[in-house]
Structure 1
Amino acid sequence: MFDNGNHVALRRDGVAVVLKAPENEMPQVEYWGRNFGVPSAEDGLAALDAMTLKVTPPAEKPDAALRPSLLPQGAEAFAGRPGLEAYRGATPVFVRWTAVETQVAEGGHELLVHAKDAVNLVGLDVRLRLAEGGLVLMDERITNIDMEHDEPLTVNWLDSVLPVPRRTDHLTQFTGRWPLEK
């Protein structure tokens, strides 16, 4: 999964986000930072692989996910808190995307991801975009695509996940009480 697939590069106002987009898998952020002249061609972006974390699982954890996707799940061998926790009735839903489509919107500042789990009948739309000034915004929407049963899909949480360098000492979050969020 991890080092397969093509790259997608978003650029704006001196910031670049490069993602790896494996076929029928959720994309992973490979680089996010200053735009140092990130190339547009796949050959040039493939050279970026040599400068970033090589995802070779360690011998002691052969199924460890070293580069989580935009919505990390246990099905990707992610050992942390999954990006989605959902239930149908009292039964937990563990998504495994069976179809994932990625496309770059016009202008090259926005990535759209459409994912579907045909077994659990769950859909996901992700919009990752670079706003003016290089601010990275991510919107997600879960859809219950089960039209035959009356059992609703209960979503306990849906987390937007982006990698942050270890040297980061400050994060700004736009949720909580101060914006009167309920």
Structure 2
Amino acid sequence: MAPKKILMIVGDFVEDYEVMVPYQALLMIGHQVDVVCPDKKAKETVATAVHDFEQYQTYTEKRGHNFTLNATFSSVKAKDYDALIVPGGRAPEYIRLDKRVRDLVREFDSSKKPIASICHGLQVLIAAGVVTGRRVTGYKAIGPDLTLAGATYVEVEPTEVVVDGNLVTSPAWPGHPKWLAEFLKLLGTMITL
């Protein structure tokens, strides 16, 4: 099977694990992953945030690594990619305001290309209008937003995943094993031991 070309849309304070882990895992198995940020170019960086679960009512947030972008947002087109990833963190709450981001997400969805989103990344999918009538999950604090957007919000453990057609969603980075496995199935990637 030929490697797939995957687009990942991020912004400053994207969740550290949610950009680093999928990026490195997908490269490891041979796929190409272009990571872009609105109004930034290849070789520029975004700051990441580490969200952790430490016995508080919600997650804590700490400064993470810098992540170096490897593609330029203004030059990407959905037609050139096989799939899309929208990680969480703080970035989704403001990159969703960018019409170009929403348009890209809609193009992937209307072409039925796989879209993997995790945690707060679903805020971008809500803004793009692609969750209406779909079964999805995300960080529990955006459950009401998903419901108001016309989605069926499925509350699952952070280690779980929900798949509806071309959408693969999970509540948070503890779900990476199942989230990435389901995304790979949609890509047609088979890993044999």
TM-score after normalising by structure 1: 0.31
Structure number, greater radius of gyration: 1
Whichever structure has more strand as a proportion of its residues is 1
TM-score after normalising by structure 2: 0.30
